Structure 1
Amino acid sequence: MTALSGHDAKRLHDLAMAILTEREPVRVWPLLMERLTADLPVDLAVLIDLDWRAGTGHAQTGSPDWLHEAPLDALIHAHMRAHPLLRHYACTADRTPLTLDEVADDRWWKSEAYHAGKAAIGIDRQLALPLSSRPGQIRGVIMSRSGRRFTDRDLEYAELARSLLDTVSAYEKVAFGMPELGDPSEYGITPREMAVLALLDEGLTAHAIGSRLQIAEKTVIKHKENLYRKLRVHDRVTALKKGRSLGLLPSVPDMD
């Protein structure tokens, strides 16, 4: 198996830094699609969100820009259940990046679904980065390029990128979903510490927070210690109360 080069490692480092320093949350996923198309490289990358049971779904964002004019949602609705990669992830618990060549048989390359995709967006070789999702749903990135097969190096890079994207997905649900709240940086609280505080507010344990954010439990505990110090409190209940008083957490609805 071809090992990742130092150049590949730098690309992953730069990608992580671009995510962490992006000041506009809505730009994060488009930025990721742009970087993946350049780094692998591929002709296009699309973030999809599907409800397999209902047979519906949509493309959330993609790169290059012309994809926004392509009939992606129509392709998804018409052919998602015929797509070998999507069918594989829907029927298994596998979340390993895979290529079409690994799961498709001769029937796929002759199918109406393949030819419809080929005509609309030029799909040929495809690589999927499946992200964590609820049962019955598929969320992930589908990347395509014409002609050239994906290599062992591409798959190794994709696995590392998938872990990074999964972390972004978990992080955005916590940190990017609170634009109306106060600015944690005014109190020296980092985005990751803010993510931990929000999950503490959900009642999660340190172990569960670590699983959600894909970090070690001891790292969560360290973030909690930093939070308590910065908020000048000594326990979880007081930290949450202080977080609300500072506008960092949403107010508890009045039950009267």
Structure 2
Amino acid sequence: MTGAAAQLRGMRDLAVQTMHERDPDALHPLVLAELLRACDAEAAVCKESDWRPDEGAMSIVAVPAARSEFDQPQARRLIRLGRPFAEHYTSTGDSSPRPADALGRLQRLRDVRRFAPGRRFAFGIPLPGAYAPVRGYILFRPDAAFGPAALAYGVEVQPLLVAVDRQRILLGQWRAGAAAVSSGCHDCRPPVPADAAPYGLTPRETTVLLLLADALTTTAIGRRLGISARTVNKHIERIYRKLGTRDRLSTVHSARLSGLLSTPCPSHRET
């Protein structure tokens, strides 16, 4: 197996692993660690919301030698700006992975070098979708440019990263609804709350069930999760079997009655 194939296989294996992870907060650290390893990077960052200097969730994984630098408040503030990637992706509508040295006069990453002299190479992998202004991953190296191999890897893993991110968002929504039900919120509580564990739904099947409840077609669910319509149908068949139902309407109705689905009220809905 070539080095490139081994890199891609690592992320594919991780994407499969995340389909069985029930904690949405655990997904980004897993992905960042794999990106760090596969790209031989010094640090990997995931900006989980808008690129703003003082707000929004952000995850950073760095090698031990660089960890203290990336933990500095000023460093984190500058990284939140996402330069030069935020300017490029918001102004062009481009969604392709790009090394910073391909983005014009900001290529030297002056803001980043301000807190870590010599660190000048970065690589951005955006998460295409309805995000404003831009979300995604940035990898950093101090002494080696991200060349054609890194670019090819970024292009190949981008759909996997998008799929994992969508899985994280849906699991977060499901967990928010479950937490609201457990808290006894009258507006969130389903008619007959029940323990979901006996049904044996996997995290992936749970996300498919959530999208079924939104009345999405098989094709639309596949697009949302980054999988084929055939795979979606297999998940739906397993959901029917586990819930003892035969069609979508009865499945969603049964899931709501049993507490597998709930619609959180505004005070519990995840932003």
Per the alignment, residue 5 of structure 1 pairs with: 4
Amino acid at match of 1:224: I
What SS does the aligned partner of 1:227 have? helix
Give the Cα separation in 1 of the matches to 2:72 and 2:144. Answer: 25
Per the alignment, residue 143 of structure 2 pairs with: 147
Amino acid at match of 2:203: P
Higher relative contact order, chain-length normalized (CA < 8 Å, sep 6+) = 2
Amino acid at match of 2:210: A
What SS does the aligned partner of 1:137 have? coil
Per the alignment, residue 119 of structure 1 pairs with: 114
- Pairing 1:231-242 to 2, within 5 Å after superposition: 231-242=243-254
Q: Higher mean Cα deviation, 19-28 or 166-175? A: 19-28
Per the alignment, residue 46 of structure 2 pairs with: 47
What SS does the aligned partner of 2:71 have? helix
Which structure shows the higher strand fraction? 1
Q: With structure 2 as the length reference, what TM-score do the two structures score? A: 0.77
Amino acid at match of 1:62: I
Q: With structure 1 as the length reference, what TM-score do the two structures score? A: 0.81
1:75 paired with 2:74, answer no
**Is 2:20–2:203's contact at 8 Å kept on the other side of the alignment?**
no
Q: Deviations over 1:134-192 (max 9, x none)?
A: 25320000111012111222112222222211101111121233232677553232222
**Given the alignment, which residue of 60, 63, 70 partners 1:62?**
60
1:191 paired with 2:203, answer yes
Amino acid at match of 2:113: K
Amino acid at match of 2:111: A
Q: Deviations over 1:72-114 (max 9, x none)?
A: 453257x65xx33221210223211110121223x653xxxx3
**Is 1:4–1:153's contact at 8 Å kept on the other side of the alignment?**
no
Give the aligned length. Answer: 242
Amino acid at match of 2:159: S
Amino acid at match of 2:199: Y
Measured after TM superposition, the shift of residue 204 of structure 1 is 1.6
Q: Structure 1 stretches of 5 or more lacking a match?
A: none
Q: CA 1:196/1:48 → structure 2, altered by over 3 Å: closer, same or farther?
A: same
- Pairing 1:74-93 to 2, within 5 Å after superposition: 74-75=77-78, 83-93=83-93
Q: Spell out structure 1 runs of 4+ moving beyond 3 A.
A: 3-6, 20-24, 49-52, 54-59, 181-185
Q: CA 1:36/1:92 → structure 2, altered by over 3 Å: closer, same or farther?
A: same
**Is 1:184–1:190's contact at 8 Å kept on the other side of the alignment?**
no
